[in-house]
Structure 1
Amino acid sequence: MNEREAEKFVKKDNVWKKPDYQAMLDAGSPLGVVYFVKKVRDSLGASPQYRYSDNTPEKRFARQKEYIDTVRQIQAVMEDVQTVADAMGVYDRFLVGNGYVDMVQGWGSGIHYSATEKGRNNPVITDKLARTLHIRSEAYFERDFTQKARKEQFGVPKDQKVPAGYAIHFYDGKNGYSRAGDWRPGTYYVTKGYSILQTNIESHEAALRWAKEFAGQRSKSGKVRFVPRQLEHVHRGGPDYRSGQEINGQDYLDTFGFRGGEFGNWMNQNDRQASLNMGFEALKDLASALQVNDKDIAYQGVLAIAFGARGSGNAAAHYEPLRKVINLTKMHGAGSLAHEWWHGFDDYLGTKMGAKGLLSEQPYLYPLFKKLVDTMKYKPESQEQAARRTEIQNARMQKNAEGWLDSAVLSSLKYYGDESTLEQYAALKTAFLSGEPGTVDKISTLKKQTAGRVIPKSERERLESFERILHGMQEQETPQIGRTETDYYRNSMKMGKECEKDGGYWDSNVEMTARAFACYVKDTLPYASDYLTGHAECALTFVTDKSGNTELLRAYPQGEERKAINAVFDEIVADLKLQHILTHEDITQPLPVKHVPLAENEQISMFTDSRPSVIGQLAAAKPAVKEKPVQAASKSTHAPEL
């Protein structure tokens, strides 16, 4: 494994495959014992944890090996656990037996355990793991494993599980809670917390069905993942870069310098030919839009491409940073090529600029990328926005100043003064809040005359500070122009709330730059190129606010914001050409006319004997697990995209 592969594949699920807990129960293993095995495995970290000192590839590799060895040690011990007695012996057998913990004889408290240096230096050995393994007695095991397993419905088939938070009870006619006496013995009732939801249900199956239906009605507001619509037609109005010819895989290798490529097994000959033709023209259009050399499209031989071969859930297309591959999923991928190409270029630039991953995740490494992110997310305020913000800030400042002033003097004036004193204070407070210099001195004098003491020094200094700020507010003739969030950024955050479970995808630098780049290419090309940018403006949905009003939400840049973002992309492309990361070309040349046509029924392939595909080798190395053809790929480390 290379470094990035090790980061991806050294995981608990690959070292200790998840056991078939249901099969263990079916084989007669006690419920608590199987649940114990599960909790022990769950207490292990999903991947290696690194110390601050693990700052070289060699040290991280050593930590990964240590993780694998330790997980396999605990797996070997757990595979022998069949009874409660076995479970109670795991702590000594694993932790003590492998030297992670020492048994220490106390003076009067018996034996206790202490972590050894080996245990302290191994990140797999955690307090969580030790607590799970430490079973004090059979009663403890019964309470913490067997009873908890029943409570969590562990081992209960999915279709038999009661919805979370609900419970089904049998009424035997003895201990009921009916005030009207209308509960029928021999029936079931459903509760949620301390609330009784339904009674007199004839059977457990009927009660379960009722609980599921009721719980389903309460969760109909779940979010729906956004999936772009497939283009009905793919239009293109640019030059005939193919010279009227059918494109084959070798044309991709020769023209763009792709490292390799592949097709999915489900793509027929017509699908492959159409994908090759449209993809070739789209990539030529991209080179024309950026005015770069064709070889820059594959980042000078770094990039590979796949059509319908490396699917990722519902994603129409995706980029895999681990293998540096763009995949377009049959016709669903049409329209997303510019978006995915940018992800690959973002990754390529990250390597060039010294980022650990995509450059958009560390934009400060390249000032123009930092400028791009700032331009996408923020814009200068309008005069009206600045005035409104200043008004709100001033009102907040005056409210705070008034509160501090009242707390410093008002109670004393009320206690020792009279109505005339309070009238003087009211006039002085008005002057103070308007920023009139010297007002704090006058208020302190008033307090001295009334209560016999001045404002304490610490409070006086704070009030004088407020006085200077309030005075400055009055002196400022026009509000200073600040910055505010762009509509693009706000709409991206709203899109995440509408279409994401956890958030952080739509408003990430990675996704926002990719959507903005697709719009940039669409605007730069003087003609339509749907296969390249057809999905540039597809990120939209209807949302309803609390008042029931519906609006169309667009999570892509528009108007003046879009022009500003496009200008920064112009700067980035120009600067990368100056740095010779990109090569300037004024004109994109068409493919030379071929004199040797494809043979009838020739299989279109992007693999050649002289230039085998890395992806193809990886796919060939995987054992077949199904009789029917399958897509040959590992899942992407990148989140599913458009």
Structure 2
Amino acid sequence: MGQNELKEKSITDKRKILDVAFKITEYHKREITQLMEEKVKEEEESETEKKVTEEKEADEDGGSTGNDLEVPEAESKKKIEDFGRKIGGARKDAWRDRGLQIVDLGSMNEAETMKYVTKDNIWKKPNYLQMIKDGTPIRVAFFVKEVRNALPAKVSYPNQNATPEQIRKRQEDYISLILDVKEKLLALKDENGILQFFKVFEEEGVYIKRDTYYMHMVSRTEKGTDVTNRLIKAMQVRNIAALDRKMEREQFGVDPEHKLPKGYTVRYLNGEYLVIKNRRVLKDGLKSEAEAIQAAREMEKLAPGLRKQSFMPQQLENVKRDGPSYGIDNTPANGELYMEKFGFSGGEFGNWMNEQDRQESLNMGYEAFMDLAAALEIDPTAISLDNRLAIAFGSRGKGGKAAAVAHYEPLLEVINLTKMRGAGSLAHEWGHAFDDILGKKLGVNGFMTTHINDDRVPKSMKELVIAMKMRPATEEEKQQRDEALVKRAEANVERVFGQLLPETRINEMEMKTWKRLRTELIGSAEQRGRDKVMEEVNGGHIKWIDEKVEEISQFTKAVTGHILNKEDRDRLYYAVNGLESVFEICRREMTQPTEFYNNSVKFDSMYSKESKGYWHSDEEMFARAFACYVHDKLAWRSDYLCGHSESAVAFDFSAEETVMIKAIPEGEERKRIDQCFDKVFAEFRELELIKGREEVADQVVRKRGRAR
């Protein structure tokens, strides 16, 4: 655009042009930064790999340990790289380190953007204590925390009919909001900046603007959809003293070692320190504040409801397999073989995995997947579930003490296994993939087990979920239930009877007649209920009960001079009807919760996980039961595939005697669940949802197992 053309533009148009120019500049600035970061990362990885190669060559010169995998010379020179489609969303993706930006959306699919465009991914939670130590004024650091907490955790999406373009714009506006607020907050220097923060934010007019009619109100701009009232309130600080009081209440900036547990306070009174919680003095006579804080911390440790620990299966010491050979002893597995044999859409490795780690993972994984196909009597190409499933070795975990040994990502349809801790969990994670991908194929929008009441879920799958959670009751359990039901119904009739005519109002002869009427009424109801008598009904009521109620009413009239009123008649009628009907319930089949389900519930009370009810959810019970099923179906040992199938075992020390709890199916329950799995795979093969094969393991040659 020439200078003359620019002069003719209006002020509004000029501002729009500047806005566009600013966006383009920002976009390229971020893009250049990302490219530079990725280039540095590539160089660092290259240098690391070079060192690993040099060390390996040095080791080879010194002789073999005897445990190393023997790789043909031609193969050893070829670097093992990611294969197939780029899975995306891996832990090694650059944005995870620097924070998500608009430019990163281009490399994600729609499902990924819906999951990953969140506040914590765009702006990682700061270490506020470290900010203070680095020189940030404590009030500024607290204000940063308050405003950041008030930012919405995720995007506020438009209605369900929104187009992909509208959704993308909303995501871009959200990212801009988070980054702009972050930049402004981190630029604050003092209390004056805190007091002026909202005014500056408002005057820019990007996300909010002052209402031209109601001057005391602000409204959101098109770009400020995610600006909430909570955020506006957090930005407005008119009194630093109020900020100080809130900061003191929250013990902000206090070192964790000197911080009081939540709900506790320390007070100094009459020359001593007191520990108080819920307005109760828990401990007194303490000589110093430090002593009082320590006492509060110790009491909190002893308090019930401590944070639950994560369950972590023990790592397999040796990964053993004694099944058939699949021909990879002389020609190691590679990515091309995975895609050709199983139909995987792609695969990737963690940056930290050296060549030997990658080759061992490929080999053990290949044998495990072939074993899985044999156990399920399906064609190996069906392992990828219509070429949708991808595999990752050590590239997508989060690390840490509570990190998962393996996991399945439904958004990207990929199984991730850690280097060695993931060994033994492959069947479990493939079970999740089967549940999810075939659920999507059926149109239920996710895991079949979480949509089990959907008519599109096959009957065999519904029966399996029921079998995991419920079992037929034993004769003893059924008898106990029946006796309890009848006893409760009898007690109800006697209670109503006792309220109709108090015994204190009748003489001995009348009492005998009254008891006879009650006994006959209860006996008739029980006898007719047991004999399944076809009752004669009159006006919606059972005739014989109405006749008995009338007889009792006439007796009360003879004794008291009054018949039973309608309310008393109805109460007696329905009590007797309930007693007769209870025998119909007793004839019904009875089920009880399985030990598998009960123990899974106990696991939830003992161990933590991301969501409540993790261990006894249908989704997780299915995956654990599936791993056990594969273990039972295989005629040989295959640790990498299902070595952890029996690992969900813990001890409950809360009772007088220590009890072993197993969150896996066992005994008759396991046999019944295995039979249900047989039906599931038979039906899914029949529906052509998964490809079967007639001859499974007859064509492979068995060989002696080896430990890795």
- Same fold, judged at TM 0.5 (above): yes
Structure 2: runs of 5+ lacking an equivalent: 1-107, 526-544, 702-708
Aligned to 1:626: none
Once the 2 structures are TM-superposed, how far is the Cα of residue 57 of structure 1 from its aligned partner?
A: 5.1
Asked whether the 8 Å contact 2:345–2:388 carries over to 1, the reply is yes
C-alpha change, 1:591 and 1:318, in structure 2 (3 Å) is farther
Equivalent residue in structure 2 for 1:262, among 345, 348, 351: 348
Equivalent residue in structure 1 for 2:682, among 574, 587, 594: 574
Aligned to 1:284: 370
Q: Secondary structure at the match of 1:395?
A: helix
Aligned to 2:604: 496
Once the 2 structures are TM-superposed, how far is the Cα of residue 339 of structure 1 from its aligned partner?
A: 0.9
C-alpha change, 1:440 and 1:41, in structure 2 (3 Å) is farther
Once the 2 structures are TM-superposed, how far is the Cα of residue 164 of structure 1 from its aligned partner?
A: 2.3
Which range is displaced more, 319-328 or 484-493?
A: 319-328
Asked whether the 8 Å contact 1:540–1:553 carries over to 2, the reply is yes
C-alpha change, 1:336 and 1:164, in structure 2 (3 Å) is same
Aligned to 1:247: 332
Once the 2 structures are TM-superposed, how far is the Cα of residue 591 of structure 1 from its aligned partner?
A: 11
Matches within 5 A, 1:463-612: 463-473=572-582, 479-500=587-608, 503-546=612-655, 548-588=656-696
Show CA shifts across 1:234-288 (max 9, x none).
3322211126324232332332222222333443444333332222111111111
C-alpha change, 1:581 and 1:434, in structure 2 (3 Å) is same
Tell me, in whole angstroms, the C-alpha distance in 2 between the residues paired with 1:539 and 1:292: 27
Equivalent residue in structure 1 for 2:321, among 195, 211, 236: 236
Asked whether the 8 Å contact 1:262–1:305 carries over to 2, the reply is yes
Amino acid paired to 2:283: L
Identity, in percent, stands at 37
C-alpha change, 1:275 and 1:34, in structure 2 (3 Å) is closer
Asked whether the 8 Å contact 2:489–2:582 carries over to 1, the reply is no
Once the 2 structures are TM-superposed, how far is the Cα of residue 555 of structure 1 from its aligned partner?
A: 0.9
Amino acid paired to 1:298: S
C-alpha change, 1:241 and 1:431, in structure 2 (3 Å) is same
Asked whether the 8 Å contact 1:263–1:308 carries over to 2, the reply is yes
Once the 2 structures are TM-superposed, how far is the Cα of residue 13 of structure 1 from its aligned partner?
A: 1.9
Once the 2 structures are TM-superposed, how far is the Cα of residue 488 of structure 1 from its aligned partner?
A: 1.1
Tell me, in whole angstroms, the C-alpha distance in 2 between the residues paired with 1:484 and 1:560: 14
Residue 379 (structure 2) pairs with residue 293 (structure 1): yes
Aligned to 2:424: 335
C-alpha change, 1:44 and 1:269, in structure 2 (3 Å) is closer
Residue 533 (structure 2) pairs with residue 442 (structure 1): no
Residue 149 (structure 2) pairs with residue 42 (structure 1): yes
The two structures, once aligned, show a CA RMSD in angstroms of 3.7
Equivalent residue in structure 2 for 1:366, among 457, 461, 477: 457
Equivalent residue in structure 2 for 1:167, among 253, 265, 270: 265
Once the 2 structures are TM-superposed, how far is the Cα of residue 535 of structure 1 from its aligned partner?
A: 1.1
Show CA shifts across 1:2-60 (max 9, x none).
22101211112234444554466568776556434433432343113456655765665
Tell me, in whole angstroms, the C-alpha distance in 2 between the residues paired with 1:77 and 1:420: 94
> If the length of structure 1 is used for normalisation, what is the TM-score?
0.77
C-alpha change, 1:52 and 1:466, in structure 2 (3 Å) is farther
C-alpha change, 1:587 and 1:477, in structure 2 (3 Å) is closer
Asked whether the 8 Å contact 1:540–1:552 carries over to 2, the reply is yes
Would you say how many aligned residue pairs link Structure 1 and Structure 2? 563
Asked whether the 8 Å contact 1:432–1:440 carries over to 2, the reply is no
Amino acid paired to 1:354: G
Tell me, in whole angstroms, the C-alpha distance in 2 between the residues paired with 1:69 and 1:403: 70
Matches within 5 A, 1:123-522: 124=226, 126=228, 128-129=230-231, 132=234, 138=239, 142-143=241-242, 145-170=243-268, 175-176=269-270, 185=271, 188-192=273-277, 193-201=279-287, 203-218=288-303, 222-242=307-327, 244-249=329-334, 250-313=336-399, 314-363=403-452, 364=454, 365-367=456-458, 368-407=460-499, 409-410=500-501, 417=506, 421=510, 424-434=513-523, 436=525, 437=545, 438-473=547-582, 479-500=587-608, 503-522=612-631
Asked whether the 8 Å contact 1:235–1:528 carries over to 2, the reply is yes
C-alpha change, 1:51 and 1:272, in structure 2 (3 Å) is closer
Once the 2 structures are TM-superposed, how far is the Cα of residue 454 of structure 1 from its aligned partner?
A: 3.1
Aligned to 1:2: 109
Once the 2 structures are TM-superposed, how far is the Cα of residue 316 of structure 1 from its aligned partner?
A: 1.8
Asked whether the 8 Å contact 2:275–2:292 carries over to 1, the reply is yes
Q: Secondary structure at the match of 1:526?
A: coil
Asked whether the 8 Å contact 2:353–2:394 carries over to 1, the reply is yes
Tell me, in whole angstroms, the C-alpha distance in 2 between the residues paired with 1:169 and 1:400: 57
C-alpha change, 1:426 and 1:119, in structure 2 (3 Å) is farther
C-alpha change, 1:447 and 1:46, in structure 2 (3 Å) is farther
Tell me, in whole angstroms, the C-alpha distance in 2 between the residues paired with 1:190 and 1:23: 29
Tell me, in whole angstroms, the C-alpha distance in 2 between the residues paired with 1:332 and 1:488: 25
Aligned to 1:622: none
Asked whether the 8 Å contact 1:119–1:125 carries over to 2, the reply is no
Tell me, in whole angstroms, the C-alpha distance in 2 between the residues paired with 1:422 and 1:30: 88
Which range is displaced more, 307-316 or 49-58?
A: 49-58
Show CA shifts across 1:345-387 (max 9, x none).
2221122011322222212331232222112111222222222
Asked whether the 8 Å contact 1:16–1:75 carries over to 2, the reply is yes
Amino acid paired to 1:310: R
Amino acid paired to 2:191: T
Tell me, in whole angstroms, the C-alpha distance in 2 between the residues paired with 1:373 and 1:92: 58
Aligned to 1:179: none
Asked whether the 8 Å contact 2:144–2:185 carries over to 1, the reply is yes
Asked whether the 8 Å contact 1:488–1:557 carries over to 2, the reply is yes
Tell me, in whole angstroms, the C-alpha distance in 2 between the residues paired with 1:549 and 1:592: 49
Q: Secondary structure at the match of 1:213?
A: helix
Amino acid paired to 2:674: N
> If the length of structure 2 is used for normalisation, what is the TM-score?
0.70
Asked whether the 8 Å contact 2:286–2:292 carries over to 1, the reply is no
Amino acid paired to 2:417: L
Show CA shifts across 1:200-229 (max 9, x none).
43x444443444334334469643321111
Show CA shifts across 1:613-640 (max 9, x none).
xxxxxxxxxxxxxxxxxxxxxxxxxxxx
C-alpha change, 1:123 and 1:482, in structure 2 (3 Å) is farther
Q: Secondary structure at the match of 2:651?
A: strand
Tell me, in whole angstroms, the C-alpha distance in 2 between the residues paired with 1:270 and 1:93: 55
Show CA shifts across 1:528-585 (max 9, x none).
2122111111111111344x12211111111222122222222221222223332222
Amino acid paired to 1:247: P
Amino acid paired to 1:162: L
Tell me, in whole angstroms, the C-alpha distance in 2 between the residues paired with 1:149 and 1:169: 18
C-alpha change, 1:450 and 1:94, in structure 2 (3 Å) is farther
